[in-house]
Structure 1
Amino acid sequence: MSVGVAAHITAASQGGPRFNEYLTNDGRRAAENGIWLCQQCSRLVDADDSAYDVVDLVEWKAFAEAAAAVELRGYVVRKGRDFTGLEAKMPELIGEMRTDARSKPFTREIIALSRRVSYNPGPIPFFVYFHEDHDELLAKLQICEHYGAIYDVRRNQVPRWNFSEDFVEYLLGT
């Protein structure tokens, strides 16, 4: 079940956010002038006309309606993440990942270990990131996972992930 609130793209009355004096009263009440948002976003959009312009709201609505139509056909619509934002959060770790990916462009598996541990996972090539080199390494890798940069492939109780192909393309600059 989806719970939402209707907000106006252009204000329903004069003095409201993004008021359009050329729109008729019927046009102000029409579905085309509405956008379905969560409770919090609805309040923000209706309260601040400087942060949300008509063009952005129309674009949001068009995208949401197109995504809903695709999902109704059984597909999953997921927003892609901008890996530059991830890199800004942890430049040293992402820099090391970039160097590794460039040195072995077909390797995808990564393992998080302490330098005091020796580990041989078998014939699959992998990169190792050490706790001693990166403060809060597991937390950073969890954020990488949230961004879709890596995904969990843990086995034998060893924290391990694979790079996503989108992230490798970002790292390699392709």
Structure 2
Amino acid sequence: MSDQAIADPQATAVPVWARNLPQRAFVVLFGKTGSGKTSTAYDGIMKLIQYGHTVTSLEQDTPEVFVRATKEAAEFGLTQETLAKMFKHTQVAYQHSHVMAMPDLYFLGDLRGVDESTHQRIQIGINAASSRKSALATVHAATLEQARQVFNDLLEMNGLKDEASSTVFIFHECVRTAD
């Protein structure tokens, strides 16, 4: 597993991770509770859609980012019809980990613990990155060291450490700034 660290404490129109979204990357947004991980993911996903990229959300439970996008599409100059073509949500159980027609980005949501959904979502992210596509996930961690450890533990506990060995992981710290 190779990784890069990016910190962007200043909120920008297009988050750092999305500005030049690298091909073949698994981006991990990390930060404490309330640090803006979900907002950072949402803003970047919506900008990518504006630029013509396709996204599939595999969020577990309530698809928070997907639901917010359907409510606020007009704020990004997107019609519901355009959004429906560019941004889809599916349950991970219905998504194959080696899909032929992959979106440009898989949003995997928050990754925690050992369960079938987490295993499948991480595996989909690894497969996307190895297929010249990208994946985005969030983890709860206060520092870069903790984020790397949490993610390494998730790979180990879910039996995906070897499979992820050649995947590029980019860790992006989310820090909410005062308005």
Give the structure, 1 or 2, with the largest relative contact order (CA under 8 Å, sep 6 or more). 2
Structure with the higher strand share, 1 or 2:
2
Shorter-normalised TM range:
under 0.3
- Name which one, 1 or 2, has greater alpha-carbon Rg: 1
Normalising by the residue count of structure 1, what TM-score does the alignment of the two structures yield? 0.24
Normalising by the residue count of structure 2, what TM-score does the alignment of the two structures yield? 0.23
